[in-house]
Structure 1
Amino acid sequence: MSTPPAPIPPLRPPWTYCAHGADPTADPIGCRGIRVPGHTACLAHLSDTDRATYLASLTPGTDIDHRGTPFTQNLLDQLLSALRDPTTGKPHMGTVQLSQAQFSGTAWFDGAQFSGDARFDEVQFSDTAWFGRAQFSGDARFDGAQFSGNAWFDEVQFSGDARFDEVQFSGNARFDKVQFSGEAGFDAAQFSGTAGFGEAQFSGTVGFGEAQFSGNARFGRAQFSGDALFGGVRFAVASGLGPFVCAGVVDLSGALFEVPVMLEIAASEVRCERTRWESTATVRLRYATADLGHAVLSAPVAVTAHPVPFASSPGDTVDESVLSGCHDGVRVASIQGVDAAHLVLTDIDLTDCLFSGAFHLDQLRLEGRTVFALTPTGWNRHGVRLTRWTRRRTLVEEHHWRAQDAGQPVPPPGHTPTPRQWRPGPYHPDPARTPDPEDVAALYRQLRKAFEDGKNEPGAADFYYGECEMRRHDRTGTPKGERRLLWAYWLLSGYGLRASRAFTWLLAAMSLTVLLLMGVGLPTHDPDPATTGTLHGSKISLHTSTPDPALHDTWSKRMTWARAEKATRVAVNSVVFRSSGQNLTTAGTYIEMASRLLEPTLLALGVLAIRGRIKR
């Protein structure tokens, strides 16, 4: 049997400490409180006379240093009474150092004013800690503090940085109507009870990195003028988060939501990269560009653009003035790596959304007014050739490939591409990191099915067009013969989706048929049948024959209105796959046969295109 390791001896504090009650065997350190200047004991272990003399020497605004000192409620009241400002009736302190102090009983700092930095690192509050309406003019540090009871910081003003890293809140923690003028950090803090940040104002960056909320987390009407960082935060009970407003970035990357939750956030950007949703969630956003890349969705999650300002109660809307100048609408920047079978997007702008790498895109639910990127506008020159792109909704991955394929220059930082160009990707012009046509065709195919399953045939039409376009340009996965068929299909009718193109070709084919018939298909005159007979005794044998239609007129006599009318009848009958019954030359017969094959096909393609646009 092995011998258990010897316990690690406690570290001696870095200050000259009291050592009251030290025992070389049981407790070699004893009291860790810093000695009062001019004495060999801390404030808690001074004699009554020496303590009274020390307290009498204090005046409002004095710096105090009682690190490691054990405070009873009575001792703390004596200290704060000695520092009380007679004009305000509240304690007034300069620089405060209370690191590793222990407070037994209620720690009452209500309305206290801290003119300098305040250090409460690793402090232990065994009961309620009350800092309501306190004012911290310098930095406030509570790193590693333990609040065994409730912690009240309502209406506190932090003019400098406020750090609560690795703090343990065993009871309720309230920061309602708090004003953070500097940075506020709650990294790795643990909230076992309800955490309330209602109507708090955050002027700098606020960090909750890897904090744990085991109770409800309320941020109703909170305002963040800087960034709000919730990276790695664990929400175990929270059923609602917000509504709150953030002028910067709300970062929920790596956060864990274990229970059903509703988030209501008005912000310029919301990051949900690798966020884990273990239950259903509704994310209501305003103004924000949301990044859902590689989020883990174990249950349905709905991301919705909220049309009006949030209201904490009927008629009481949240102030969004810090977001003035932000673009309207909610955008999603990426769902890469997401299982889209659990995702619902409502009234979302997907102009720059990256879909590549997502799973089950065919099961993605797109509701309301969904916006996608459009093709470039106007005429574009490619060498000596002018082109004009068909107006349709596209995926941004197609933009990235076409910009790379067209050799567009790298845009300068912060440059917004013009509507006349394709939108370059983040890795432009690297072909190895830009999706190729085969990849983009697969994205179009899956999203087309999502539209079709939602009974939105017109919405699916553009994605079918995009799929065919990418297959036509795919030189690796699509055989050459299939690419040529797609090219012909595109040329004649825009893949059966452009009625104007099909009817233009139909009109051109009919016009050509009329001209060819007038030129070489119609005879000069309709041939007259001739009847001949042979007399054999009392019997007569009659034989009627019609000469072949012949064309003898000059070209000037062939182009007449009468011949045009006859040719038009032949062409119109060919469109509906009927024979006109008109006498034709041999060439005219073949022209009619060709028109009866081609023109009904073009008519069918035009009708199919119209149906694809109006079908529901």
Structure 2
Amino acid sequence: MSDEDAVGASHEAIRLEIDLSEARRAVELERRISLSQVRITGPELRELIHQLPQRKSKPVVPEFRLSGVTVSGACNLADMHVLGVLSWKDVHFTGPVTLSRSAFWDHVDLDRVSFESLDADDCKFVQHASLRRTRFSGPASFQRAIWKMGVDFTHIGSFGSARTLDRKSGKVEHFRVPRQVAASRFESTASFAGSRFLGPVGMRQTHFGGDANFVNCAFQDDGVFVRARFEESAYFTGATFSSHANFAGVKFLGDDKDGWRLIDGSPTSFQGSRFLGSAHFSCTATGHVDFKRSLFVEDVAFTDSQFQGGAQFNQAIFRGPSGFHMTNFERGVDFANVEFYADATFSQTHFGGESRFTGALFEGPSNFRYAHADRELRFDHAVFASTLSMPRARWDGGISFEGSHLDVDLFDASYTKFEERLQISLSAVRADFTGARLSSGGQLRLAGGSAVSLEDADLLSPVIISGSDAAESRPMIISIQRVNAANLTLEGVSLSACLFDGALNLDQIRLGGGATFATPPMRRWRAKRNVIVEEGLAREAAGDKQWSVVVDMLPTWVDKPHAISARQVSETYRALRKSREDSKDEPGAADFYYGEMEMRRLAARRASSERLILSTYWFTSGYALRALRAFLLLGVLLVAVGTLFAAIGFPSETTTRFVRVGQYPDIEYVEATRITTDQPTLSDRLPDGLLYSLESGISLLRPSNTALTTAGVLVETVHRVLAPILLGLALLSLRGRVKR
């Protein structure tokens, strides 16, 4: 050592001795400790404290101030009672510090203090405590500490370790912090197990370099962990959050070396936690996260969270709204037996691994809008009691509803992509598959009262939609517009309000048993038949308001389509007729043929020959489908023609007499005189006329041997044409009704 260094050390020792002397005099005279810009050893500092009066063998310190002091070696300051302010600023402890069992009755200021290690077990902080920019390079223990007015760790440099381990049992003990801990840094393990936080707890931007243990903690006021960072495992098992819990921007980076875990010991565990207020998580977790059996009383949000190591929420209870908007479950998630009693939102959520909601209860609306699952998403035995919405979702690995109970007001799968076969049983006031894509087909089993829309759906494989055999409880198909009907089979459903316009390959649709249609408005002369709602729209547009009863069968949530032309409706009927004919169902095809002809007649111009021909065809035999009408007209024709025959068809009856008018020799003159006798009346000739009308009507090619008047010949000619036509139409109509 040089002479200058020796002199400097000597001067420093002298100054230190002077400062210590002044400190001792301050202790003796003013009963307080005050040091500034000095170096002191731990035993020397303890000696100063023990010069103060004691109460029950514990030093009573009125005031304790250190500023710019360096304390070397171990420093045991346990069992103090600091009645006034404790202010340590810019103090550096090179050895372990012990404050256990001390009581601080006034403000505690440990700003910019550097601790090698700290033991503050069983300490009591009555007023606010500030540890701003404090650095803990070694273990820091606050076991069973009580903070009544709050603590501020804002911008703490670092915590080496904040484990609270019982020295005798080795178990994690308590840490009691009422208020705010923000921007802290724990370089090693931090344990707050069993702590009770009586006031707001703010751990904003806190960095946990080792395991963070909040097991069985009680947060009675707001708990803020915004942008906190957990490098290793984080345990919140059994924690209770009585007010708002905010984990926005949190990162859980613990490495889950064992992969997906379903037991305790996961890197981040909230198992059994109770969130009695609102909770907000916007976190990144590289290890497994466990919320098993957790309780969320108010709203909870995991918006934009990243779970890269798997997540577990099974048996959790969400009593308030729950939001998983834009959440990424990289390795899947387990929501088995979870109970959602309010809105459950999974919009834009990504399910990377196998995920399940097996046995889950959804009492409130559930929303999976724009959700995406790489592997199978299972809702087996789940219960949905409100609405289930998954518009524009994509299920690459399929979605399973085996044994699930869906009794919902709305099942919205519009524009959803089902890449695997879909099998689902549901009861929905409204089931919307508009624009949905079923790449592998599927089977939909619908309960009575359900209404399903398949408009613009892309059916790449066969799809079967089945309902009930009971006529009064058949589900309704609302629309198959612009659907490839070749892959569609409908059984036991009602098509009374179904829109068919624009359906592709409608002639290849398979209508199984129990598929029913609407019927036209009742009139005395109108026969009962199957009609489609488009006919009602076309007739309503043409001014026939009676058909509004058919149009009104559309549910209120369906937008009434624009007026459809009768020609389009006729093409729809034609395709449906061909479908029934290909199924060897002639009676079923007859109604669609009738509807096709009706729409052709309605589409024709009023003064056209087509309109006249079709109207005559309709009037005479109902397009060869109304046998009774044809038989009645045939009977009317026979009676009318028979009456005409009796009136003008037969000639008058005359006789010729020869009267002697003179006699000459050998010659007798006789004159012939034609005398008309009394003629029979119309009633007398009517039986003959009816009989002749019947004979001539059914004998098309047999020549007549009966003398007729010129008018009678004309009547007979017309009769021989009309009567066989009506007879043929009647027989054809009868055949169309009885053919199988």
Alignment-derived partner of residue 691 in structure 2: 569
Contact 1:44 1:69 in 2 (8 A): no
The CA deviation at 1:275 is 0.8
Output aligned runs, 1:5-44, within 5 Å: 37-40=151-154
Per-residue deviation at 1:329?
1.7
Cα deviation per residue 1:7-36 (whole Å; 9 max; x = unaligned)?
xxxxxxxxx999999xxxxxxxxxxxxxx9
Aligned to 1:3: none
Q: Which runs of 5+ in 2 are unaligned?
A: 1-130, 137-149, 165-173, 178-191, 221-236, 257-265, 659-673
Among 254, 260, 277, the residue aligned to 2:415: 254
Partner in structure 2 of residue 544 of structure 1: none
Measured in 1, the distance between the counterparts of 2:608 and 2:133 equals 89
- Answer whether contact 2:135 2:158 (CA < 8 A) is retained: no
Tell me the residue number matched to 1:376: 521
Among candidates 459, 464, 470, match of residue 297 of structure 1: 459
1:510 aligns with 2:638: yes
Residue of structure 2 equivalent to 1:111: 272
TM superposition shift of 1:551: 9.3
- Of the three residues 323, 326, 347, the one matched with 2:492 is 347
- Secondary structure at 2:612's aligned position in 1? helix
Map of 1:64-463 to 2, 5 A cutoff?
64-69=201-206, 74-75=211-212, 78-83=213-218, 90-94=238-242, 95-103=244-252, 104=254, 106=266, 107-121=268-282, 123-238=283-398, 240-242=400-402, 243-287=404-448, 288-305=450-467, 328-378=473-523, 388-406=525-543, 408=545, 423=552, 433-463=562-592
- Amino acid in structure 2 at the alignment position of 1:45: F
Q: Deviations over 1:113-150 (max 9, x none)?
A: 111011111x1233332222211011111111122233
Percent identical: 29
3-state SS of the aligned residue for 1:263?
A: strand
User: Following the alignment from structure 2 to structure 1, what is the Cα–Cα distance between the partners of residues 205 and 455?
Assistant: 46
Counterparts in 2 of 1:65 and 1:607: CA distance versus 1, 3 Å: farther
Given residue 48 of structure 1, which amino acid in structure 2 is its aligned partner? Answer: A
Among 711, 719, 724, which residue is 1:600 paired with? 724
Rate the CA distance shift 1:97–1:432 in 2: closer, same or farther, 3 A: closer
Structure 1: which amino acid aligns with 2:731?
V
C-alpha displacement at 1:525, in angstroms? 5.1
SS in 1 for 2:249: coil
Give yes or no for contact 2:381–2:401 (8 Å, CA) kept in 1. Answer: no
More strand per residue: 2
Aligned partner of residue 407 in structure 2, secondary structure:
strand
Higher relative contact order (CA 8 A, sep 6+): 1
Q: Residue 45 of structure 1: SS of its match in structure 2?
A: strand
How far did 1:53 drift? 6.1
Change (3 A) 1:583 1:407: closer
Structure 2 length normalisation: TM-score?
0.64
Which digits, 9 at most, give the CA deviation of each residue in 1:534-576, with x for residues without a partner?
xxxxxxxxxxxxxx9x99755x72312xx33322332222332
Q: CA deviation at 1:182?
A: 1.5
Deviates more, 1:268-277 or 1:105-114: 105-114
- The answer to whether structure 1 residue 469 and structure 2 residue 631 are counterparts is no
8 Å CA contact retained: 1:43, 1:66: no
Provide closer, same or farther for how the CA distance between residues 49 and 570 of structure 1 changes in structure 2, counting only shifts above 3 A. Answer: closer
Distance (Å, rounded) in 1 between the aligned partners of 2:629 and 2:132:
91
Q: Distance in 1 between matches of 2:156 and 2:731?
A: 94
Q: Which deviates more, 225-234 or 583-592?
A: 583-592
Contact 2:649 2:711 in 1 (8 A): yes
Code of the residue aligned with 1:520 in structure 2: it is: I
Give deviations 1:486-544, integer Å, cap 9, x for gaps: 1110110011110011001001001112211221223455999x9xxxxxxxxxxxxxx
TM-score by length of 1: 0.76
* In structure 1, distance between residues paired with 2:466 and 2:712: 63
Structure 2: how far apart are the matches of 1:507 and 1:436?
Answer: 37
Letter in 2 for 1:200: A
2:522 match: secondary structure? coil
Counterpart residue type for residue 285 of structure 1: L
Code of the residue aligned with 1:569 in structure 2: it is L
Answer yes or no: is the 8 Å Cα contact 1:91–1:113 preserved in 2.
Answer: yes
Distance 1:450 1:19, change over 3 A: farther
Amino acid at match of 2:716: E
Residues 480/17 of structure 1: CA separation in 2 closer, same or farther (3 Å cut): farther
Asked if the contact 2:384–2:408 (Cα under 8 Å) also holds between the matched residues in 1, the reply is yes
Please give the secondary structure, in 2, of the residue aligned with 1:353: coil
Distance 2:553 2:452 in 1: 20
From the superposition, tell whether residues 507 and 19 of structure 1 become closer, same or farther in structure 2 (CA, over 3 Å). Answer: farther
The answer to whether the Cα contact below 8 Å between 2:313 and 2:334 also exists between their aligned partners in 1 is yes
Q: Residue type of the partner of 2:336?
A: D
Give a deviation string over 1:404-429, Cα, whole Å, max 9, x none.
222649xxxxxxx985x7649899xx
CA 1:306–1:407: 2 relative to 1, 3 Å: closer
Give a deviation string over 1:456-475, Cα, whole Å, max 9, x none.
11111111111111111214
Match of 1:586 among 690, 702, 710: 710
Separation of aligned partners in 1, 2:368 and 2:275: 24
Q: More deviation in 355-364 or 132-141?
A: 355-364
2:168 aligned residue = none
Distance 1:460 1:64, change over 3 A: farther
Give structure 1 stretches of 5+ with no counterpart. 1-15, 22-35, 309-326, 380-387, 410-416, 531-547
Cα distance in 2, alignment partners of residues 279 and 83 from structure 1: 51
Shift of 1:64: 4.3
Q: Which moved more, 1:96-105 or 1:594-603?
A: 96-105
CA distance in 1, matches of 2:151, 2:721: 109
CA drift of 1:433 comes to 2.5
Q: SS at 1:509's partner residue?
A: helix
Residues 190 and 241 from structure 1, CA distance in 2 versus in 1: closer, same or farther, beyond 3 angstroms?
same
Give the distance between the partners of 2:613 and 2:134, measured in 1 at CA: 92
The amino acid of 2:249's aligned partner reads Q
Report the CA distance shift for 1:66/1:524 in structure 2 as closer, same or farther (over 3 A): farther
- Residues 47 and 565 (structure 1), Cα distance of their counterparts in 2 relative to 1, 3 Å cut: same
CA contact (8 A) 2:388 2:410 kept: yes
Larger Rg: 2
Contact 1:404 1:431 in 2 (8 A): no
Q: Give 1:115's aligned amino acid.
A: L
Contact (CA 8 Å) 1:404, 1:424: kept in 2 or not?
no
Distance change in 2, residues 1:74/1:424 (3 Å) = closer
The structural deviation recorded for 1:82 is 3.4
Cα 1:71/1:214, change in 2 over 3 Å:
farther
